[in-house]
Amino acid sequence: MKPGAFVVFCLLATSTASAQSGFVQGTIGREVKRFSGEPGEQLFDGTATDVTIGAGGFVAPHWTIGVEVDVGGRSTVRRSSQVTVSGRPTTIDTDYSIERRSAAAEVGYHTLPRRVRLGYYAGWSFTVTRREIASTAPPIVVTNPPTASVFTDRVAGFVVGIDAAIALTDHVAVVPSFRAQAVALSPDLIGHSYRPAIGARVLF
């Protein structure tokens, strides 16, 4: 089944199985990316802003089916090296940038409805990651500076999470949340995305 069809299926299942209650929410936070590599060589590690929107519906008193879409910001690591040109030291900078987008279908388990209601989630995430490697070598080093190398990876994998809906009214809650997922871009570049955030939930 294609990723888009899978997400639509989950939305339809939610709306038909339980029309009694659901929610929409949005959060903003930070994404921390950590990849494999020797110390000092994790070129795509970084931290960036992350924005998530989601919706879910109760299919049983404690269980929900929902979807989330999150957009991670761009993080960049710069590495510098010294070369000698015509007897003069020159610095060459290389930037390693990465940004990630994902859509996930999730099943959630929620505790009893109280002022603070915990939710635990597990699901399947479809992720698109864009990596860019660009050299900022000055013209004295290269006559025609090379263009940036861009790599686009499309991967799928498990995502897990937890949040706490802190009720402000019967229909509005503040929601601190945390999501984590593995991101395997290649056999030699395996990492994780950690996303703490806070936002608001509207229940209906």
pLDDT above 50 for 8: no
14 pLDDT band, cuts 50/70/90, is: very low
Q: What is the mean pLDDT of residues 95-113?
A: 95
pLDDT of residue 107: 98
CATH number (1.10.510.10, 2.40.160.20, 2.40.50.140, 3.10.560.10) of 3-72+104-125+155-203 reads: 2.40.160.20
Q: What is the mean pLDDT of residues 149-176?
A: 95
Residue 113 neighbours by CB under 8 Å, 6+ apart: none
Q: What is the mean pLDDT of residues 86-94?
A: 80
Where do the DSSP E strands lie in the chain?
A: 22-35, 46-58, 63-72, 75-85, 88-110, 116-135, 149-167, 172-186, 189-203
Reading the block at residue 112, the tokens are 């009893």
pLDDT of residue 184: 86
pLDDT above 80 for 79: yes
Distance CA 118, CA 103 (A): 22
- Of the listed ranges 39-48, 148-157, 165-174, the least confidently predicted one is 39-48
Distance CA 199, CA 129 (A): 24
- Of the listed ranges 4-8, 79-83, 98-102, 145-149, the least confidently predicted one is 4-8
Going from N- to C-terminal start, the domains of the chain cover 3-72+104-125+155-203
- Of the listed ranges 1-15, 172-186, 189-203, the least confidently predicted one is 1-15
Terminal-residue alpha carbon distance, the chain: 30
pLDDT of residue 119: 97
pLDDT above 80 for 18: no
Top-confidence residue, 193 or 136:
193
pLDDT of residue 2: 54
